[in-house]
A and B are shown apart, each in its own frame.
Chain A
């Protein structure tokens, strides 16, 4: 039980890390493709066909892919001046319930929708519409849906962490030796 949970949390964190690397890759692609487009347009006087689509997709994937890692690293903005004055057990219980009862079902439905739209795009051979390039859309949807799933997994990890912390606070001992560090800005 103890080891099992630790291993699940570690695995989820590793997946978030991998998608973080994907997001960093998207950022590099975004900068490079857009800069190349400007140079191509003004220096070589021949704007590219692909830069707009590529850079938009890179940006579109970037933030969703990094969302799970941002949650794990507590990068999301929270207004904590009341939260830090609540009894810690109450704070953890509130967040646990919100993640479990609202965010988790929302992300499950979002993932299902992502799978549905991906299949739809594949069946109907949907392509990008803005530029004449008309890239096939479904691989992009696969990436978006996978990113949402990563966030879903990280939300499950958050639920487990809050639950463990709650057990520790209530029973006054550390159930599995994981200390959940509260990082406040």
Chain B
């Protein structure tokens, strides 16, 4: 009797979301309408219970902290120094500026959980440099978007914290699980850019030599002042999580203070900057956590309406086995990535998937890592492609949408290759998570 109700909930959510209704309120609305049919006026108390529950979720407190850390580093003045230092060493290689961009994005992504900050900060320096050297527009666009998408992948990332809390897996395990796949993806991106420039130097010419002429000692000094503080911060945050010294939430707080410290040292600090950063952090956190709240309400009503049994029946009917089911789930996520953003995808799919994953006895960390890699494509695939929105806000007028869409295609293919690699070799996801000290 109640199964058809649950069946109607998922299509309803898509209707509201595609009407342009804020995702958080779309989830809340569907949960409210379907919940009211069961609980009547008591649905208010049910939902208040969800709010109290979510507000007591200590793990999610890491979200505002990681966002704050990224927002602070964006203003720190460290980015400029880091870019210059990396360029000194990598810039003269084939595709050197593209390589510099990808390495820079990787390092910045490892200091920040803030999706978008990585792309804008690095893009504002790398785009003019690559244009000046004569890089072709689609290569510039692809490199910047792909580099920016690493922010969702490389730990610490807000994506991982959100996923872990929704799917109820350990944040530390999932962060550790993401390390090797992230490395593989960075290697693929770098190899592509260097290889392309090697075989076709005209689309990625080398920058002029003068910028690079300086004594070795000077080079080393520039590198030390830029790279060392960054690596120290990364080591402090990730190291303390992986070594079990601090919970991810505590490590995030230490990272936030560390980022403030670096900003003071590099002269980017001011009271206005601090107020601006606090305000941005709180708005992005509210947006993120309100979607999680809407999702929690949606899931609870979905389950009460017999959603779990419905999903189990559907999967039993399909008879896909473990691998077939995982393949189906990941395909759905990649396809949803064209039209939805990562957080909506997590909140809609993961509660449903979790039921099946448990039922079929699939390794949860392996599946979680696969999901996070698959989610990363959502960042690049149009029409709903956050990376292209950000790029549009910083790109010169000569760069067209065609350039951007063409540019991201090879990188989406490499993301899918990483996904296949993790699917084929589960140890890529589980090896480091198994080696972790238990907190």
Q: Are B25 and A98 in contact (CB under 8 A)?
A: yes
Q: Are B48 and A113 in contact (CB under 8 A)?
A: yes
B122 CB-CB contact with A under 8 Å: no
Q: Are B61 and A76 in contact (CB under 8 A)?
A: no
Q: Are B291 and A59 in contact (CB under 8 A)?
A: no
Q: Are B282 and A66 in contact (CB under 8 A)?
A: yes
Q: What 0/1 pattern do residues 260 to 298 of B give for CB contact below 8 A with A?
A: 000000000000000100110111111111110100000
Q: Are B51 and A23 in contact (CB under 8 A)?
A: no
Q: What 0/1 pattern do residues 15 to 29 of B give for CB contact below 8 A with A?
A: 011111111110011
Question: At the interface with chain A, which of B94-102, B103-111, B246-254?
Answer: B246-254
Q: Are A24 and B278 in contact (CB under 8 A)?
A: yes
Say how far B326's CB is from chain A's closest CB, in angstroms: 26
B389 CB-CB contact with A under 8 Å: yes
Contact of B56 among A27, A56, A71 (CB under 8 A): A56
Output the nearest chain A residue to B258 by Cβ-Cβ distance. Answer: A35
Contact of B18 among A31, A66, A82, A117 (CB under 8 A): A82
B8 CB-CB contact with A under 8 Å: no
Q: Are B289 and A30 in contact (CB under 8 A)?
A: no
Complex Cα–Cα for A146 and B281 (A): 21
Most chain B CB neighbours (cut-off 10 Å) among A27, A64, A83: A27
Q: Are A114 and B48 in contact (CB under 8 A)?
A: yes
Question: At the interface with chain A, which of B125-133, B335-343, B358-366?
Answer: B335-343
Question: At the interface with chain A, which of B39-47, B208-216, B221-229?
Answer: B39-47
Question: At the interface with chain B, which of A2-10, A101-109, A168-176?
Answer: A101-109
A57: chain B residues within 8 A (beta carbon)? 55
Contact of B344 among A27, A67, A79 (CB under 8 A): A79
A102: chain B residues within 8 A (beta carbon)? 29, 32-33
**Given known A-B contacts A27-B282, A113-B48, A59 and B253 have beta carbons under 8 A apart:** no
Complex Cα–Cα for A57 and B56 (A): 7
Complex Cα–Cα for A29 and B17 (A): 34
Q: Are B16 and A98 in contact (CB under 8 A)?
A: yes
B283: chain A residues within 8 A (beta carbon)? 20, 66, 69-70, 73, 75
B254: chain A residues within 8 A (beta carbon)? 35, 38
Q: Are A30 and B65 in contact (CB under 8 A)?
A: yes
A77: chain B residues within 8 A (beta carbon)? 22-24, 287, 291, 341, 343-344
B285: chain A residues within 8 A (beta carbon)? 27, 62-63, 66
B184 CB-CB contact with A under 8 Å: no
B257: chain A residues within 8 A (beta carbon)? 31, 35
Q: Are A117 and B282 in contact (CB under 8 A)?
A: no
B52 CB-CB contact with A under 8 Å: yes
A43 CB-CB contact with B under 8 Å: no
Q: Are B51 and A144 in contact (CB under 8 A)?
A: yes
Q: Are B290 and A67 in contact (CB under 8 A)?
A: yes
Complex Cα–Cα for A57 and B52 (A): 10
Say how far A121's CB is from chain B's closest CB, in angstroms: 10
A125 CB-CB contact with B under 8 Å: no
Q: Are B61 and A59 in contact (CB under 8 A)?
A: yes
Contact of A20 among B18, B279, B284, B293 (CB under 8 A): B279
19 contacts across the A-B interface (CB closer than 8 A): A20-B283, A31-B68, A55-B249, A55-B253, A59-B55, A63-B286, A63-B289, A64-B51, A66-B282, A76-B24, A77-B341, A78-B23, A79-B23, A82-B19, A83-B20, A86-B19, A102-B32, A109-B44, A144-B55
Q: Which residues of B contact A (CB under 8 A)?
A: 16-25, 28-29, 32-33, 41, 43-45, 47-48, 51-52, 54-56, 58, 60-61, 64-65, 68, 245-246, 249-250, 253-254, 256-257, 275, 278-279, 281-291, 293, 339-341, 343-344, 383-384, 389
For the complex of A and B, 4 pairs with smallest distance between CB atoms: A83-B20, A60-B55, A109-B44, A34-B253
